[in-house]
């Protein structure tokens, strides 16, 4: 089960990051901005700063947000792969 969990972690983490980045590319500009604009807006409101979207602090914030999304996707992927593996093992049992 460990191997299945680790495969689920990898697949879930990769899919989480890919989906987050593709949402940014596909619909980010139509909604008024992407991850960098959202993080810059939040940092500017929280700390009363005036940071542009391409500032290093904003980019680090984007990486942190993408890391959190990837970690959550990895956790969900690992849990779902274990669930599917147990289901398949229970269906394949000989009586």
Q: Considering the entire predicted model, what is its pTM? A: 0.86
DSSP 18-83: HHHHHHHHHHTTTTT--HHHHHHHHHHHHHT----TT-HHHHHHHHHHHHHHHHHHHHHHHHHHHH
Q: Is the dihedral of CA 63, 64, 68, 71 positive or negative?
A: positive
* Separation between Cα atoms, residue 64 and residue 1, nearest integer Å: 30
Query: What is the per-residue pLDDT for 30?
Result: 77
Return per-residue pLDDT of the chain as tens, 95 residues.
899 999 999 999 999 999 999 988 888 777 778 898 999 999 999 999 999 989 999 999 999 999 999 999 999 999 999 999 999 999 998 76
Query: What is the per-residue pLDDT for 95?
Result: 67
- How many separate domains does the chain show? 1
Query: What is the per-residue pLDDT for 1?
Result: 86
Domain hosting residue 69, numbered range: 2-91
Q: Which residue has the tokens 């593996």?
A: 85
């Amino acid at each position: 089960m460990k191997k299945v969990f680790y495969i689920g972690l990898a697949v879930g983490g990769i899919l989480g990051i890919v989906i987050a980045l593709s949402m940014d590319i596909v619909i980010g500009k139509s909604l008024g901005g992407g991850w960098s604009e959202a993080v810059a807006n939040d940092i500017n409101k929280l700390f009363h700063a005036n940071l542009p979207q391409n500032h290093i602090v904003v980019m680090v914030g984007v990486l942190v947000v993408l890391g959190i999304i990837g970690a959550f996707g990895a956790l969900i992927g690992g849990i779902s792969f274990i669930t599917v593996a147990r289901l398949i093992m229970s269906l394949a049992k000989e009586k």
